A = this chain, B = another copy of it.
Amino acid sequence: MQRQIDLELAQLKNALLRMGSLAEQAIGLAVKALVSRDAGMAGQVVGSDEAINRLEVEIDELCLRTMARYQPEARDLRFLAMALKINNDLERMGDQAVNIAERTSDLLKEPLLKPLINIPRMADIVQRMVHDSLDAFVRRDVELARQVCRQDDEVDRYDDQLFRELLTYMMEDPKAITRAVNLILISRHLERIADHATNIAEDVVYLVQGKTIKHHLAGE
């Protein structure tokens, strides 16, 4: 039997996926602006944040309205609570994409410091994590969610490596400082996006299995 609340939950799921694809687009565009040195594209990312922010507020309200109207049972409540959290993580990914675009605009004021190799690689992993975390959410796929969590360590290693490399660059050539600092910050922003994807993946595991793997308290 189709319950009335199922319609609302399906609508909510669609809204979250729309939010997810906006965040994915913003991240993709920010990375592309960086790699192709395209100032117009960086500006587009900054402009797209408004839509993400509006959708976040709409989704929050939809969650709360559904909670209040249907007094849902435990399983649906868990879904609604996780939707609030996932929504928040997606909005913050959008913010991080804006940060990357702003650092990119700054970088474009000077010639290329060095061919970008590790940042695009790291960005590839991060974008896949974002995509997979949403996919795991849609398909309630715990295995895929756990895979996302494992990739987070790889991203952290890239971030550490970039940090050390870029420090060396700066020490060898003070004219490289502003650019190197901007690249360090971009690497940090990518690392934060990976953290948000990991949060989403952890929420998916909780949603499906009803137990938390957050902070590895429950072990794996």
Cross-chain contact A57 with B181 (CB below 8 angstroms):
no
Chain A interface size, under 10 / 10 to 19 / 20 to 34 / 35 or more: 20 to 34
Q: Given A68-B73, A88-B85, A181-B184: A214 and B174 within 8 A (CB)?
A: no
Please state the number of chain copies in the assembly.
2
Q: Which stretch, A11-19, A59-67, A126-134, touches the partner chain B?
A: A59-67
Q: Which stretch, A27-35, A74-82, A138-146, touches the partner chain B?
A: A74-82
Complexed CA–CA distance, A64 and B207 (Å): 12
Say whether chain A's binding surface is mostly helix, strand, loop, or mixed. Answer: helix
A7 an interface residue at 8 Å Cβ cutoff?
no
A9 an interface residue at 8 Å Cβ cutoff?
no
Complexed CA–CA distance, A61 and B210 (Å): 10
Q: Which of B57, B177, B217 is within 8 Å of A215, CB to CB?
A: B57
Contact residues in B for A50 (Cβ distance below 8 Å): 215
Q: Given A68-B77, A84-B81, A84-B85: A214 and B57 within 8 A (CB)?
A: yes
Closest B residue, CB atoms, query A215: B53
Contact residues in B for A209 (Cβ distance below 8 Å): none
